[in-house]
Structure 1
Amino acid sequence: MNNLFISYDLIAPGQHYEQVSEKIKSLGAWAKVELSLFYVKSALGSEAVANAVYSVMDKNDKLIVIDTTNNSFHSFNLDPVVIKQMLNYWTK
């Protein structure tokens, strides 16, 4: 089982908070930490969870799933500069 943190930013016009929330809750035991931040305990890894959640999001929405069990993450639409920064420090 994996410990995952899911953070998202829903950009106008869609902002399907209910569908995103329900998809996240369907992936395992969960806790809502903040408005757009969930903790999920799931057999799925960060890529599978990110793909599942992103399937109900608009294509301009932002998403990151951080797997603290396996020290990995998967994201959609994050600024490439931020991703590069994260990767520079990820294993240091």
Structure 2
Amino acid sequence: MRISRDKVNKLAHTVADTLADVDEAEFLEDRNTIRQEARKILEMLLADEVKIDAAARGKITSQQRIILEGTQEWDILYRKYYNDEVKRLGI
């Protein structure tokens, strides 16, 4: 999934703000550092998702016969290959 940098920053702000409101969470760094780390983690997860998506799509296109995107068969194979790739990467 592709998300704009602004949206990733908004999510990172939300994560930092939410953690600041949780009594069980204690910041050892300032809130901006927490926000930046949250942004980095979100960007890494989104990059991993793009790789997983590409791998699943690649496996579908490598089939001997053509499977059209949007068909039930394509959806089933996509979910299967996507989940296999997630397991393989240990996410």
Question: What is the TM-score of this pair, normalised by structure 1?
Answer: 0.25
Q: Which has the higher contact order (CA 8 A, sep 6+)?
A: 1
Name the one with the larger strand percent: 1
Larger radius of gyration: 2
Question: What is the TM-score of this pair, normalised by structure 2?
Answer: 0.26
Name the one with the larger helix percent: 2
